[in-house]
């Protein structure tokens, strides 16, 4: 029997989908045939038109993929698909932990298989067409297999433990699960680059030379204790360039994509790293980690208020109270709250980006950072004039022009 939660879930996922389509429409309206005056000196006409084509093709394809996902979820809801998967899992085992693992395993594998054609097209058609793709079919297949193995080896035991907590600890289950998720988050923040990244990419210490000397000189000026600087073979998958900062305390690490040197001078790379160091020095990394932990706790608390609600289970076509059905239904209902929190987190993140830019400006050079940002935006065919509403909803970084004004 359909109930209020069924219709609420239906309304939320349909509204969210069409809101996303409308925001993409607003973004597309920002484009023009010729380079806007405010982008003069940053990008030429040919490159600007190419970036428009790239964005529109990516957006159109993304909308097709998201519409396909919407149809699948609607079918799962209206045809009691989640209840069917639950029935399959229970026909194999009566143990609730095993049932949960089987349920999410079936959902995850089926979802991934259905998404593979979209991933193949995006990688080997769109990214290839615009000169970004370096992924081979062998790497593509290997990445998927490794992802599945990691899900089994790491995700499986954690899900099993969380499920055990749910059934054994009563109404306060959310507190214990929050503690487990917090410890896991801290562990991954500290050891992700050492344990997970090497499974997919090769990392090696940055060799002695002009670039390393310049980085160490900047770090000393910024009063930053530099420990590890690594390069990563990002070029095996894409020509796009990046750099990031990972880890906490003694485990902090600066990682440079090997593609950076193809597009930026040594001084521009150092300016980008000064920005990343700014995040650490100004405690943005820890602040965002803490905010994420609080957000997880809030989500789990709200989940605890709904977990035993029979209407929630019936909305997905089941009568039996179970952790996995409660969680699936809750995630679908929670999306508006998640969007609001995401908007707030993105707002804070954009403010932090401005502050990190200012740090780089003082510690090294705002002019060189601005030059690097321009080159990377042009190279990656970024959307340089996004709609303000789209930025408000989705952007964790300020648009290029805003960052350049801040660096003047």
pLDDT for the residue numbered 5:
84
Residue 200 banded pLDDT, cuts 50, 70, 90: very high
Residue 4 banded pLDDT, cuts 50, 70, 90: confident
Residue 125 banded pLDDT, cuts 50, 70, 90: very high
Sheet of 203-205: strand order equals 203-205, 228-232, 253-257, 243-246
Helix/strand/coil for 359: helix
- 230 within 8 A of 253, measured Cβ to Cβ: yes
Identify the residue with better confidence: 76 or 1. Answer: 76
Which pairing describes strands 228-232 and 203-205: parallel, antiparallel, or unpaired? Answer: antiparallel
pLDDT for the residue numbered 308:
82
Residue 192 banded pLDDT, cuts 50, 70, 90: confident
pLDDT for the residue numbered 328:
92
Contacts of 174 (CB under 8 A, 6+ apart): 297, 300, 301, 303, 304
Distance of alpha carbon 390 from alpha carbon 20, whole angstroms = 9
Active site residue 276: yes
pTM: 0.88
Least reliable range by pLDDT among 30-39, 70-79, 270-279:
30-39
- 85 within 8 A of 324, measured Cβ to Cβ: no
Residue 2 banded pLDDT, cuts 50, 70, 90: low
Tokens 């896991």: give the residue: 184
Average pLDDT over residues 399-406: 93
Average pLDDT over residues 68-80: 93
Instruction: Go through 53-89 and write b for each residue having 16 or more CB atoms within 10 A of its CB, e for each that does not.
Output: ebbeebbeeeeebbeebbeebbebbeeebbbebbeeb
pLDDT for the residue numbered 143:
93
Average pLDDT over residues 145-167: 95
* Averaged confidence pLDDT in the chain: 91
DSSP 308: T
pLDDT value at 66 more than 70: yes
Q: pLDDT by residue (tens digit) across 21-53? A: 999 999 989 888 888 888 988 999 999 999 999
Point out the catalytic residue in the list 86, 263, 268, 276. 276
Task: Name which of 227, 232, 228 is nearest 261 in CA terms.
Answer: 232
Average pLDDT over residues 210-234: 86
Point out the catalytic residue in the list 357, 358, 402, 408. 357
- 116 within 8 A of 148, measured Cβ to Cβ: no
Task: Name which of 298, 282, 279 is nearest 344 in CA terms.
Answer: 298
Query: How many angstroms separate the Cα of 152 from the Cα of each of 62, 109, 144, 162?
Result: 28, 11, 12, 15
Contacts of 389 (CB under 8 A, 6+ apart): 23, 26
């Amino acid at each position: 029997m359909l109930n209020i939660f069924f219709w609420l879930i239906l309304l939320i996922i349909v509204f969210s989908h069409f809101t996303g389509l409308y925001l993409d429409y607003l973004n597309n309206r920002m484009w023009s045939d010729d380079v806007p005056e405010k982008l003069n000196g940053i990008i030429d006409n040919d490159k600007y038109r190419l970036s428009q084509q790239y964005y529109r093709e990516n957006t159109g394809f993304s909308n097709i993929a998201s519409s396909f996902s919407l149809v699948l979820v609607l079918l799962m809801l209206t045809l009691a698909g989640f209840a069917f998967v639950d029935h399959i899992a229970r026909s194999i085992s009566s143990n609730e932990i095993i049932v949960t693992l089987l349920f999410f395993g079936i959902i995850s594998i089926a979802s991934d298989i259905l998404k593979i054609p979209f991933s193949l097209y995006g990688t080997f058609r769109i990214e290839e067409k615009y000169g970004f793709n370096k992924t081979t079919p062998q790497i593509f297949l290997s990445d998927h297999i490794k992802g599945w193995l990691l899900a089994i080896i790491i995700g499986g035991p954690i899900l099993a433990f969380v499920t055990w907590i749910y059934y054994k600890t009563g109404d306060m289950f959310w507190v214990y699960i929050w503690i487990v998720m917090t410890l896991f988050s801290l562990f991954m923040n500290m050891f992700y680059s050492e344990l997970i990244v090497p499974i997919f990419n090769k990392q090696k210490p940055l060799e002695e030379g002009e670039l390393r000397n310049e980085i160490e000189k900047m770090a000393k000026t910024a009063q930053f204790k530099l420990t590890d600087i690594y390069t990563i073979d990002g070029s095996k998958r894409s020509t796009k360039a990046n750099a990031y900062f990972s880890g906490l305390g003694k485990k902090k690490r600066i990682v440079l994509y090997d593609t950076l040197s193809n597009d930026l001078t040594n001084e521009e790379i150092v300016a980008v790293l000064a920005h990343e160091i700014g995040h650490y020095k100004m405690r943005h990394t820890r602040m965002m980690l803490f905010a994420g932990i609080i957000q997880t706790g809030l989500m789990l608390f709200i989940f605890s208020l709904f977990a035993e609600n029979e209407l929630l289970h019936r909305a997905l076509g089941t009568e039996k109270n179970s952790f996995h059905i409660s969680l699936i239904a809750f995630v679908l209902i929670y999306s508006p709250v998640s969007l609001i929190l995401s908007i707030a987190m993105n707002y804070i993140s954009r403010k932090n980006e401005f502050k990190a830019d200012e740090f780089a400006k003082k510690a090294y050079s705002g002019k060189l950072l601005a030059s690097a940002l321009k080159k990377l935006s042009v190279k990656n065919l970024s959307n340089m004039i996004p709609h303000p509403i789209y930025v408000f909803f989705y952007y964790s970084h300020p648009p290029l022009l805003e960052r350049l004004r801040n660096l003047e």
